[in-house]
Homo-oligomer: A and B are copies of this chain.
């Protein structure tokens, strides 16, 4: 029951983007440096995030990525779904799956369905704003080094 590191990276990167961009584009190089995520890997992630209309891009020197919407309008669940493709706990919940045709007879189906809904619901209840608000109210200095997420600073 593991979230892919893709999803974890994506959320971390989006938090970084949100914190360091004040309307100005942030290059992946910057994010890569701050968050210690391989640049090429980030590029893949942001390719998806752009397709998912969560960010927009600015090409050329001084370019980079910008949030497509306000922080408060970007849900963590969105980010995760965009890079993960599927958030369903079991395959038979996926769209187009035909292995579980008679839902009424499927005892455990209801359980997995409910589980999926809880997961999605929870992640959708948290916005980028919620995550950055916390970071902004912290004392600056070491704490604002950017490595805020699951990476020991010392």
Residues of A within 8 A of B (CB): 1-4, 7-8, 11-12, 15, 76, 80, 84, 86-92, 99-102, 105-109, 111-112, 114-115, 118-119, 122-123, 126, 131-132, 134-135, 143, 148-154
Task: Give the residue of B8, B15, B90, B126 whose beta carbon is less than 8 angstroms from that of A2.
Answer: B90
CA distance A76 to B149 in the complex (A): 32
Chain B residue nearest to A76 in the complex (CB): B111
Contacts A102-B152, A122-B118, A150-B99 hold; do A107 and B131 have CB atoms under 8 A apart? Answer: yes
CA distance A115 to B89 in the complex (A): 13
Number of copies: 2
Task: Give the residue of B88, B100, B143 whose beta carbon is less than 8 angstroms from that of A150.
Answer: B100
* Cross-chain contact B123 with A115 (CB below 8 angstroms): yes
* Cross-chain contact B1 with A109 (CB below 8 angstroms): no
CA distance A87 to B118 in the complex (A): 15
Q: Which residues of B contact A90 (CB under 8 A)?
A: 2-3, 8, 150
